[in-house]
Structure 1
Amino acid sequence: MDLELDEGARRLTLLERDHAVLKRSYEEQLARMVQLERRLDAHMAVHARERDDVPSNDHGAHHVIAREYDAFVEQKVQGMVRTVGTNVYGSAPYGVPQLPWLMSRISAVLFGPDEPEAATVLAALGRKRLDPLASQAARLCGTALDLRRRSAQTGLPCQWDFELVPGALLDEEWQQAWPSCDRSLPAQFVIAPAYIVAEQVYSLQRVYTGLSIPV
């Protein structure tokens, strides 16, 4: 029995190691892709300025920003919440899972009307200013500020849209249900805002749906 346990533990260790390697490789490839997209975007912008018959590449820049925003929400914001886990002061409304509820609170800080600060992110999680997660919260704010700054620099009207009517059905043109939710059920709250540029949707609003509206 001890030999079987040792063998099982060894296999689990190998699987965890392989997972870590694959995760690191994925993150490196994603970073390279983002760098290439930024270089291509800059090259096309210069080319557009040199030729009057080539349309502005501002919209192309927003496509890049939208892809980075999607990855940011799905990986970094969600990763922060998973790190916190259930060790949170206060809790989500009855019947609402903690993860989407906390993601909603963080998103409101990162892409709301005010510039995000690490202390405000920590406060949304019920953590103190000097919490060990302060550096991670600061990195989230830095990335969000970078996305917001680059978006504003294009000169096109853009917004991070949190608008939602609780109890209404989703509008598939600019909203999508969170993966664990039923898209046919009414909206409850926004997990992450839509990214809209010049009335064009570049990233759909992530919405938590359900039968009852949290209070």
Structure 2
Amino acid sequence: MSIYDDTNPWSAKGFSHPETPAVPHPPARSRRLDLELDEGARRLTLLERDHNALQRAYEEQRARLSQLETRLDAFMAVQAREREDVPSNDHGAHHVIAREYDAFVEQRVQGLARAAGNSTHGLVPAGVPAALWLMSQICTVLFGPTEPGTAAVLAVLGRGRLDPLAPQAARLRDIALDLRRRSTQTGLPCHWDFELVPGEPLDEEWQQAWASCDRRLPGQFVIAPAYIVAEHVYSLQRVYTNVSIPN
């Protein structure tokens, strides 16, 4: 018997019956859509993984911050008990002022000094970093014995009242006045201490070398004064150290 169906002429030639439907291939557009969906699913998986990692890091940082706050509260409570001459409310207020003062010096005062440091011919001793010297002069104006003025800040920078840095100087003056005012409102004796004997080693109880200076070298000038409240140091004096200041 022939393997071909004699009644089907298409069979003898190896073809399927004309009425038998061929298996259709998926259109190109459908394949592209499948690929795009696969790529979207892959990206979504990666984003979910990154989100989970960030969430874990965030929770870890929150836990660390909570621990630090707990330790700080405990430390301040102990300090308040030890400093019986300083009422707890005033003690906390001065700690806040000290932290704001530190940030003010490191960010705003340093920022103004760096901005003015490009044109300081004749204002800075030879061999001394211009920004650090100008920081010293700005702090002397802002936290010295007399109330600071914007013109005085600009003067130590060699600038006039119409200079582009004048608004920045005025803002620093306003912040310094606010710190000074709040520091005296508690009624406790407090001051910013500039005392320094050039060439003497630093006293670690109330002085520290500026970050870019060598703490083993003697102090040459005060960059930012110490903040002293009722004979207690709330913020260390920042000092420029070197073997000497070149003439």
What is the TM-score normalised by the length of structure 1?
Answer: 0.72
Instruction: Tell me if 1:183 matches 2:215.
Output: yes
What is the deviation of 1:89? 4.3
Contact (CA 8 Å) 1:89, 1:126: kept in 2 or not? no
Contact (CA 8 Å) 1:81, 1:99: kept in 2 or not? yes
Other structure's SS at 1:211 match: coil
- Cross-structure match for 2:103: 71
Larger Rg over CA atoms:
2
Structure 1 residue runs of 5 or longer lacking an equivalent are 1-54
Amino acid at match of 2:199: G
Please report the RMSD computed on the Cα atoms of aligned residues, expressed in angstroms.
1.2
- Cross-structure match for 1:138: 170
- Equivalenced residue count is 161
- Cross-structure match for 2:225: 193
- Cross-structure match for 2:114: 82
Equivalent runs, 1:106-185 vs 2, <5 Å: 106-185=138-217
Identity %: 76
In structure 2, distance between residues paired with 1:116 and 1:56: 30
- Cross-structure match for 1:98: 130
- Cross-structure match for 1:21: none
- Cross-structure match for 2:54: none
Equivalent runs, 1:198-209 vs 2, <5 Å: 198-209=230-241
In structure 2, distance between residues paired with 1:214 and 1:194: 25
In structure 1, distance between residues paired with 2:192 and 2:154: 21
In structure 2, distance between residues paired with 1:96 and 1:59: 37
Find runs of 4+ consecutive structure 1 residues off by over 2 angstroms: none
What is the TM-score normalised by the length of structure 2?
Answer: 0.63
Amino acid at match of 2:212: S
Amino acid at match of 1:122: L
Structure 2 residue runs of 5 or longer lacking an equivalent are 1-86
- Cross-structure match for 1:3: none
* Deviation digits for residues 54-85 of structure 1 (CA, Å, limit 9, x no counterpart): x5410110000000000000000001112123
* Deviation digits for residues 168-200 of structure 1 (CA, Å, limit 9, x no counterpart): 000000000011111010110000000000000
Q: Taking structure 1 as reference, are residues 119 and 57 closer, same or farther at Cα in structure 2, changes over 3 Å only? A: same
What is the deviation of 1:137? 0.6
